[in-house]
Structure 1
């Protein structure tokens, strides 16, 4: 997946704050299909391939700050093949999981929530040569998913054995308080480009002409307050750079714009104008 390796800058890991680790592990292993890589009483690292951490779960005591605060809209797991999405659909249906779905032209997607109300997208991309571009912006829509075509081979939910090992964190979609400073942070600072400006309501941002590695919307209202640190919801997500030089240049740009960029052990920590926490790292995937 060239949009999530090589020269690309992309999201690799999402860390969530959740209320009950055992409940969340049951959901994320049995329903979504992750494997546990590391675990203690209040913390777990989840993987699809046995090496790379895609999701971190932290048990916390604080409830969600407010249902309409800034924070996570959804994180999105990108499956390798359309047949994987079909099997996932049948598996989730067999468990009677409430599902939404959509055809975005560039992709086909399922939507659901975890036990704490954290949004999840599970999707596959259409081949990039079939994406439509208008004046440098990708054509994305929200239309009805053709479930009949997706499920035409009648996959058996009993065949579901977990997430395919080539599953990656495709993107993260955020609620933010406004878009102007958000654009400045992610574009001028982190170094993404605007792939689609959706009517002044949402920005879809990516690298290497991917339809989006990060999206940000104002659907929770202008001025939406930041989530309280340590409350249920998004803890942080990682942005992965192809080289240390690219990461350090991004950190310098953030500092010049007045944003924080603090060097920690193995990463640089920052937060966007809406209080969403980010860890900047370099590529370390096991191939």
Structure 2
């Protein structure tokens, strides 16, 4: 086999599609609290954007949804929107405070992050990266990531005098983080077959992985319990996320690796579709900006 073992530098998360129980309520939340805008709506599905051109989030309403207890099944822990700079995160924090929503937070050394839940308990992170040349690694080569308190006053000061107009252009899905039922099984899928590389280990309970030396494009944890079952399809959660690859060659290499590892891959219109062991969907395609 001539396929490379790892994903090439430049791989990006594209968009995330999640299930919600009440589309109208969720649209209001993602517009007013998160700061996204409607790009287009079709029936019970809406595409949302930051820049008016690129879809970051798709909301799909499901009928008769059962609302699960947080952290009870494998599936979405959070999706993370990366904003371009610290003033943008300061504006976001100010808007979240004004909304009255509960805000979690963490200074991870590589980034500053804010955490919220949507009305269906779908987790959302809003964060900004520190410059890559400031990221530090430990003796084992893992990025050093902490969970220290965020300098909220400093964030708000960085946004002083600026006006909130929603998430700015340049905001992207920076990473996704999932509950899984087994870390070894997750590693076989996402690292050994798909081609991400480990960047940080959080004891025996979480693994962070990326392509191209980013601190993490994906987080995988067993905080919902070893052996946690997949989220039911009639509950809010994630349908799929997209992965933007560097070339058609890389797309073919990934397809070959996944099939050789025994996973089912379908191809249509230049997109590879597959599901991880917990029924989380992935759609892989070539980044249009790479062609």
TM-score, length basis structure 1: 0.93
Asked if residue 105 in structure 1 is aligned to residue 101 in structure 2, the reply is no
- Per the alignment, residue 171 of structure 1 pairs with 175
SS in 2 for 1:151: helix
- Cα RMSD after superposing both structures: 1.8
Give the one of 47, 53, 56 matched to 2:55: 53
Measured at CA, do residues 62 and 282 of structure 1 come closer, stay the same or move farther in structure 2, by a change above 3 Å?
Answer: farther
Measured at CA, do residues 64 and 139 of structure 1 come closer, stay the same or move farther in structure 2, by a change above 3 Å?
Answer: farther
Asked if residue 275 in structure 1 is aligned to residue 279 in structure 2, the reply is yes
How far has the Cα of 1:244 moved from its partner?
1.5
How far has the Cα of 1:193 moved from its partner?
0.2
Distance 2:23 2:233 in 1: 18
- Per the alignment, residue 42 of structure 1 pairs with 44
Asked if residue 79 in structure 1 is aligned to residue 88 in structure 2, the reply is no
Conserved 8 A contact 1:60-1:230 = yes
How far has the Cα of 1:47 moved from its partner?
0.7
Conserved 8 A contact 1:90-1:155 = no
Measured at CA, do residues 38 and 133 of structure 1 come closer, stay the same or move farther in structure 2, by a change above 3 Å?
Answer: same
Distance 2:269 2:233 in 1: 21
How far has the Cα of 1:120 moved from its partner?
0.3
- After the TM superposition, list the runs of 4 or more consecutive aligned residues in structure 1 that deviate by more than 4 angstroms: none
Which deviates further from its counterpart, 124-133 or 261-270?
A: 261-270
Conserved 8 A contact 1:52-1:285 = no
SS in 2 for 1:215: strand
Gaps of 5+ in 2: 1-7
Conserved 8 A contact 2:65-2:235 = yes
Matched residues, number = 281
Conserved 8 A contact 1:98-1:112 = yes
How far has the Cα of 1:64 moved from its partner?
4.0
Give the one of 242, 248, 255 matched to 1:251: 255
